Chains A and B, each alone.
Chain A
Amino acid sequence: DAMVIQNPRYQVTQFGKPVTLSCSQTLNHNVMYWYQQKSSQAPKLLFHYYDKDFNNEADTPDNFQSRRPNTSFCFLDIRSPGLGDAAMYLCATSRGGSTNEKLFFGSGTQLSVL
Chain B
Amino acid sequence: DQQVKQNSPSLSVQEGRISILNCDYTNSMFDYFLWYKKYPAEGPTFLISISSIKDKNEDGRFTVFLNKSAKHLSLHIVPSQPGDSAVYFCAAPVTSGGYQKVTFGTGTKLQVIP
User: Contact at B99–A103, with CB atoms within 8 Å?
Assistant: no
A106 adjacent to B43 (CB under 8 Å): yes
Q: Bin chain A's interface residue count.
A: 20 to 34
Q: Are B2 and A50 in contact (CB under 8 A)?
A: no
User: Which residues of B, 83-98, contact A by the 8 Å Cβ criterion?
Assistant: 89, 93, 95, 97-98
A45 to B92, CA, bound (A): 13
Q: Can you list 23 A-B contacts with CB-CB less than 8 angstroms, sorted by A residue number?
A: A9-B41, A42-B2, A42-B4, A42-B103, A42-B105, A43-B44, A43-B89, A45-B101, A48-B99, A50-B98, A55-B99, A90-B43, A96-B99, A99-B95, A99-B100, A101-B100, A102-B34, A103-B36, A103-B46, A105-B36, A105-B43, A105-B45, A106-B43
User: What distance in Å separates the Cβ of A35 from its nearest Cβ neighbour in chain B?
Assistant: 8
B9 within 8 A of A: yes
Interface centre among B32, B89, B100, B105 (most CB of A within 10 A): B100
Q: How far is the CA of A43 from the CA of B107 in the complex (A)?
A: 9
- What residue in chain B is nearest A45 (Cβ atoms)? B101
Residues on A lying within 8 angstroms of B by beta carbon are: 4, 6, 9, 31, 40-43, 45, 48, 50, 55, 90-92, 94, 96, 99-108
Task: Tell me which of B2, B32, B98 has the highest count of chain A C-beta atoms within 10 A of its own C-beta.
Answer: B98
A45 to B4 Cα, complex, angstroms: 14
Q: Across the interface, which residues of A come within 8 angstroms of B95, CB to CB?
A: 99
Q: Does B63 contact A (CB under 8 A)?
A: no
How distant is A38 from chain B, measured CB to nearest CB, in Å?
Answer: 10
Interface of B toward A, CB cutoff 8 Å: 2, 4, 9, 32, 34, 36, 41-46, 49, 51, 89, 93, 95, 97-107
Report chain A residues within 8 Å CB of B105: 42
Given A40-B9, A107-B42: A100 and B32 interface contact (C-beta under 8 Å): yes
With A42-B89, A42-B107, A94-B100: A105-B44 Cβ-Cβ less than 8 Å: yes
* Complex CA–CA separation, A9 to B40 (angstroms): 12
